[in-house]
Each structure stands twice: as C-alpha cells, then as structure tokens.
Amino acid sequence: PQTQPLAGIKLMLTAGPTREALDPVRFISNHSSGKMGFALAHAAARLGAEVTLVSGPVALATPTGVTRIDVESAAQMHAAVMQDIARQHIFIACAAVADYAPKTVAEHKIKKTQSDAMVIELTKNPDIVADVAARENKPFTVGFAAETRDLEQYARDKLNRKKLDMIAANNVAAAGQGFNSDSNALTVLWPTGKTELPLAGKSELAILLLTLIAEKYHDTHRA
C-alpha cells in the first residue's frame, strides 16, 4: 500500500474562506486562498482516494479527478458537508470558516447615514468540523489550526474540545507560510502523539500530511 495508501477511501475536504453576506453587495470574509486545501485534494486523489472538495470562493482550478462543490457561506458549507458525510471515511477541515455571520442580511443595499458609527450584529456560525466529529460512526476527522502564538497549546485544546482524530497547526504569523503562501510548516497532533512537518511547498507538505493521515486511519481500522 505504499504508492496508493488511500485506494478505496472516500475523503471529503473543506477549503477556502466563507463569505457572510451583509446585503446584496457586501460580505465579511478573510484572506484564505484555499491553496492548502486544494493541494490536499490534489494529493489525496494522487494517493488513490475518491475526493470531494467543498470549497468557498477561491481563484483556483479544480484538481484532476476531484469532485468539487462550490459554496459561499458557512451555513451552505455546513449543509454541503452534512449532505454527503455519512459515506466518507476521512474528513479534513481546511476551510477558514467565518466564526460569525451578520444576524440579518439586508434585502437592499445598506445606505450610509448621518451617524459616524454603525453597529452590525453577528451570530455564531455552526462549527462544521465539530459537528462532523460529534457524529456516531464519524469519519477519521482532521482539523486545522491557524494561530499566531502558543501554537501547540491552542491546537491541543482544539483537538480535545472538538473531539478530532488529528489537528494540523500552522503559525500564520511566521514568514513564508500560512495564508496565501505557497509554502507552509505544520505541527501535527493526535491524541497520543505529535510530529513536525518542516517548511515545504504546499504540494509536498500535502503528500506528507496525507501519508500520515492514511497511516493513522489504517491504525484505527486495523484494531
């Protein structure tokens, strides 16, 4: 099983940012490029998996052999994931999902007023990866953590709190890695251990991370 460690495996990923509408012409979003998620989708297909990629708005081509579902908001991403999660063996949450969305979406463009201040009320979005990990017969569930400090501590906390099988943490404050970069470095944690994947191109890193995921997935399904 060296070259195709994911043969026969159904693998779903989320990637990119979400857009949370304020009105017909405005939204709240973030700087996620989708590059890491798309690199993982490409690598997973190369390693033999049947890949479904649920993507927020990004400017990237769909990797060969990957089924892509385009969404905009966190609510739409959540719905697209849940619709097909039951048949997945592995789920990787790479998307930078907005934590909050405007409580109401104005039907018409919001107009400027005399006031110098404006308040937008936000409401919490569903946590997609936590909802997947809470399922009975859940897939092997991998999350990402983008942090600017105390990387390992925050990531370990997220692993436990969201009941993940693995988490890949990256320091988005470090130069040459993370958001929009073509390279990345990851600290990968699972309940009983950890490993460092040093700075590398995102496609090389994707192969290394998926090889590790395949190994841990097969470990938990051999017992």
Give min distance, CB of 96 to ligand C5P, in A: 7
| Backbone φ and ψ of 4, nearest 5° | -125, 65
Residue 56: CB partners within 8 Å, gap ≥ 6?
14, 15, 16, 17, 18, 19, 32, 34, 71, 72, 77, 95, 96
Distances (CA, A) of 37 to 6, 25, 119, 161: 17, 27, 34, 23
167 marked ligand binding residue: no
Nearer to ligand C5P, 66 or 77 (CB): 77
Nearer to ligand C5P, 48 or 84 (CB): 84
Q: Pattern 145-184, binding to ligand C5P, x per CB under 6 A?
A: x------------x--------------------------
Q: Of the residues 30, 170, 171, 184, which is catalytic?
A: 30
- The answer to whether the beta carbons of residues 13 and 44 sit under 8 Å apart is yes
Residue by residue, DSSP assigns 178-197 as: STT-SEEEEEEEETTEEEEE
Q: Is 127 in the site for ligand C5P (CB under 6 A)?
A: yes
Residue 131: Cβ-neighbour burial (10 angstroms; 0-12, 13-18, 19+): middle
Size of the site for ligand C5P (CB under 6 A): 14
Q: Is 53 in the site for ligand C5P (CB under 6 A)?
A: no
109 marked ligand binding residue: yes
Which residues, 72 to 111, sit near ligand C5P by CB under 6 A?
A: 74, 93, 95, 97
184 in active site: no
* Catalytic positions, written as ranges: 30
What residues make contact with ligand C5P under the rule CB under 6 A?
14, 74, 93, 95, 97, 125-129, 143-145, 158
